[in-house]
Structure 1
Amino acid sequence: MGPRIATAFRRIVRTNVARARDHMPDIATDDPEGVHQTRVALRRLRSAVVLFRPSLGKTVPKPLETRLKTAAQALGTARDWDVFLQETLPSLLRDDDDRATAAPLLALAETTRKRARAAAKRALANKGLTGSLVQLERASGEFEDSSPLGDQASDWLDRRWKTLRKRGGKDPTAHGAAALHDARIALKKLRYAVEFTDGLYDRDAHAAFLLRLTELQKSMGGLNDLAVALELLEKLRAADVDEAAAKLVEKRINRAYRDGAREVRKPWRALMRSEPHWR
């Protein structure tokens, strides 16, 4: 018969609420992984609520869903600065001369990151994230739907697949950073939906399709990080960062973006030609 809808939803909620709780204390200690993992857990919870909404009805109130979204957004800005300083810039500024030229920008970016992290801490406290997680757990425990998950799963996945193809088109890199972002989010939502339906379809085909989504999401995520880096760079320019440093970083970002776009196109075309395993 396969898993029931209510059972599957409770499992997803339990797993990701635990993940958020495990990592929330790390946010207070300024551990970047705490911000990242808590945000991932919140995104998965929101994705599950949206996906299961036709069955959930009013079990999970809309205001609760909104609070989860707001909490994830509060962590987003802090996460952007973490990635900028700990991943993007180190990969672009590889020699001593580059790092010396960029030093004024790095210093200002670090100050800005600390402010973003402090703002995230305040936002999480004000939005009562702990209480929201408790409420979601309680709601999932009260949710009753004994319908087989398999009765709904293919339709859910088909909708996610259709949205992805529409958002990305033939080339998700062809229409600018905003279009890339939309395609990347659609890809992420499809990946979550595929993960949520584990065990319903042929195991090998399921694993192969999920791996393809995961690898493409990583490539698109790296490209999106570069697009975000350009946005953060403009914020630093507005704060009168050293222009020589800004120009150097901008040049390195643009070059990396062109290279990254080429790396996305081939696996994207391969995915679009593939036959979804749930059909």
Structure 2
Amino acid sequence: MRVSTATPTVAELITDALRTAAAEVEATEPAALADEPDGVHQQRVRVRRLRSVLAGFGPLLDDEEVERLRVRFHEWGGDLGVVRDIEVRVAVAEDAIERAGVDDERVSERLVDSERRAYAGAHARLVEIARSARAAERTRQLREFVAAPAIMAEDAEATAMVAVVLRAQARRVRKAIGRLDASEESYHDVRKAARRMRYVAEAIARAAPEMYATQVADLADAGDALHDALGGHRDAVLFAESVARAAIHAARAGEPAEAYGRIEAQARREAAGYLRELPHALGKLRRAASALR
């Protein structure tokens, strides 16, 4: 969806961004609940996009209502995350076992089959949550909000507002980068900030594609690069930790544990490889942010 004018007003751009994000959340929920391929992932992405749009344009919206919606969809995103994280672990484990050349049913049982059973239970719980009164209230609140959002400076042209919003998102990422201390928590903070910057930039690009087109595209690309590098690193580290735990349980059960050590070492090498992509991604961010000054 695009706004109708070449230079939209603040209200036109924000309303379009909100309605598009909300519509995508509703459109992707049925596939997630039906457990269609990639369904949970796509719903989780759309929920994150919605929360990013709410946060990015939050200073121009009703603070109380925005916070209420962000909390509600943070909860739902967390519920989706439980299921999606298991799904990712299964995919990562299958690939890692194959690449490590491990052919042991006991390893597959601990790293793959047990996770698949956990996934079935977690998805069933997700469906229960989605059918609750709280979920229905969440949907109602979102529909009411996007139908008539209270927007400040709504009649002003959106050009200046877009620059302010984008600079704020880039500044948020840079602050998170400044707090990097090699801890997983600090890497995760950068990843979240980069993801929000990307989603806000993409929302602007869809609503007003002619506005700051190059800068918006560059910021979205920088956010994507940071998110991919740090997301891959996080997945590899979490998988390595789960393999280490599985190795302990296998040893206690009297099973050979050598294969787990190989798989864990492989995962940790890959985690380090993702971090080597970080300087390039940070360079993209600096170049994109400087173009907005």
* TM-score normalised per structure 2: 0.81
Cα distance, 1:130 vs. partner? 4.4
How many positions carry a matched residue from both structures? 276
CA distance in 2, matches of 1:7, 1:111: 47
Closer/same/farther in 2, CA of residues 178 and 263 from structure 1, 3 Å limit:
same
Whether 1:188 aligns to 2:195 is: yes
Tell me if structure 2 keeps the 8 A contact 1:68–1:129: no
Tell me if structure 2 keeps the 8 A contact 1:209–1:276: no
Residue matched to 1:118: 124
Cα distance, 1:243 vs. partner? 7.0
Residue matched to 1:197: 204
1:25-69 per-residue CA deviation (whole Å, 9 max, x = no partner) reads 222322251111111111111112222222212573533331111
Whether 1:252 aligns to 2:255 is: no
Q: Percent identity among equivalent residues?
A: 21
CA distance in 2, matches of 1:48, 1:209: 15
Residue matched to 1:66: 71
Closer/same/farther in 2, CA of residues 111 and 57 from structure 1, 3 Å limit:
same
Cα distance, 1:74 vs. partner? 0.5
Deviates further, 247-256 or 179-188: 247-256
For structure 1, the residue ranges without an aligned partner over 5 or more in a row are none
Q: SS where residue 98 of structure 1 aligns? A: coil
1:237-277 per-residue CA deviation (whole Å, 9 max, x = no partner) reads 78768672543432221121112211233332443355433
Tell me if structure 2 keeps the 8 A contact 1:60–1:136: no
Tell me if structure 2 keeps the 8 A contact 1:223–1:260: yes
Closer/same/farther in 2, CA of residues 219 and 186 from structure 1, 3 Å limit:
same
Which amino acid counterpart does residue 161 of structure 1 have in structure 2?
A
1:220 to 208, 214, 230: 230
Equivalences for residues 10-49 of structure 1 within 5 A: 10-49=15-54
Runs of 4+ in 1 over 4 A off after TM superposition: 231-243
Q: CA RMSD in A?
A: 2.9
Closer/same/farther in 2, CA of residues 6 and 258 from structure 1, 3 Å limit:
same
CA distance in 2, matches of 1:140, 1:79: 27
Deviates further, 75-84 or 228-237: 228-237
Tell me if structure 1 keeps the 8 A contact 2:7–2:157: yes
Whether 1:150 aligns to 2:159 is: yes
Q: SS where residue 31 of structure 1 aligns? A: coil
Which amino acid counterpart does residue 264 of structure 1 have in structure 2?
L
Tell me if structure 2 keeps the 8 A contact 1:81–1:109: yes
CA distance in 1, matches of 2:69, 2:60: 17
Cα distance, 1:187 vs. partner? 0.6
CA distance in 2, matches of 1:127, 1:43: 22
Deviates further, 37-46 or 52-61: 52-61
Cα distance, 1:215 vs. partner? 3.1
Cα distance, 1:157 vs. partner? 1.8
CA distance in 2, matches of 1:243, 1:114: 28
Residue matched to 1:175: 182
Residue matched to 1:7: 12
* TM-score normalised per structure 1: 0.84
Closer/same/farther in 2, CA of residues 119 and 252 from structure 1, 3 Å limit:
farther
Q: SS where residue 65 of structure 2 aligns? A: coil
Tell me if structure 2 keeps the 8 A contact 1:108–1:236: no
CA distance in 1, matches of 2:222, 2:98: 30
